[in-house]
Copies of this chain bind each other. A is one copy, B any other.
Amino acid sequence: MHSVHFTAETSANGVLERDFTVGEVTGVLWSPESGADRAPLVLMGHGGGQDKRAPGMAGRARLFVTTCGFNVAAIDAPGHGGRPRTPTDEREIAALRQAMAAGEPVGPIITRYNADLAERAVPEWRATLDALQELPEIGADGPVGYFGVNMACAIGVPLTAAEPRIAAAVLGVFWSESLIEAARQITVPVEFTMQWDDEHVPRESGLALFDAFASKEKTLHANTGKHMELPRFEADSAARFFTRHLGRTVTSST
């Protein structure tokens, strides 16, 4: 198995930010600057066409570190963030651009492409988690959460279904069709977001995915707004959801 190799390190406003690789996978780990104690770990996926350090990702990571005291790890999905693209990546990205330019529905292409990405990404996430749990500030026994909407939901649903170390997940803003079987295998607490005026994902499809989770505790957060307009306060809500389920008390409210 691969270990974590740190390749760069910066620190600001109480947050230590370290680039790392695990084999071919490129990632970033945000941690409390002060922390020698073990802390829960949140795995955070990025949206389609973005990468591990997109502004929304870094902002959420800093929020989780400073308000919850968590470690947060993001990795670049296959074909994203400078990672090499396969012929499938090239073909599907071209199909997606063509559909968008023609004003045609993108759902069938995105669900098909993201299912392919998830098959590659799930083993990468599991190997990354193996490696991260060797770090003393994370450890093999600590609680683990997953945060991912849009493409990171398409990866996160099969990941959470397959990976027993994930104890709680924030997911959402994706079609049900390709994910419903995996969702039915998930029993950990889920906070699921959808956009009530989503121009891509039909309302019924989002509701069906929420309904599919077998979790005893699950919460749907549906907000007004389009596909990419998830309100910022949902990040605060996710922080509180993870605090409830990963077991670390909020220590400050910067």
Contact = CB atoms under 8 A, between A and B. Distances in A.
A218 interface: yes
Interface of A: 196, 207, 210-211, 215-224, 231, 233, 236-237, 240, 244, 250, 253
A240 to B, nearest CB: 7
Nearest to A233: B244
Contact of A210 (B215, B216, B222, B237): B222
Q: How many subunits of this chain does the assembly comprise?
A: 2
B217 A224 contact: yes
A142 B217 CA distance: 37
- Secondary structure at the A interface, as helix, strand, loop or mixed, is mixed
Given A240-B236, A244-B233, A250-B253, A221 B221 contact: yes
A221 B196 CA distance: 12
Contacts of A253: 250, 253
Question: Among A211, A217, A222, A240, which residue has the most Cβ atoms of chain B within 10 A?
Answer: A222
Question: Among A207, A216, A220, which residue has the most Cβ atoms of chain B within 10 A?
Answer: A220
A99 B170 CA distance: 40
A194 to B, nearest CB: 9
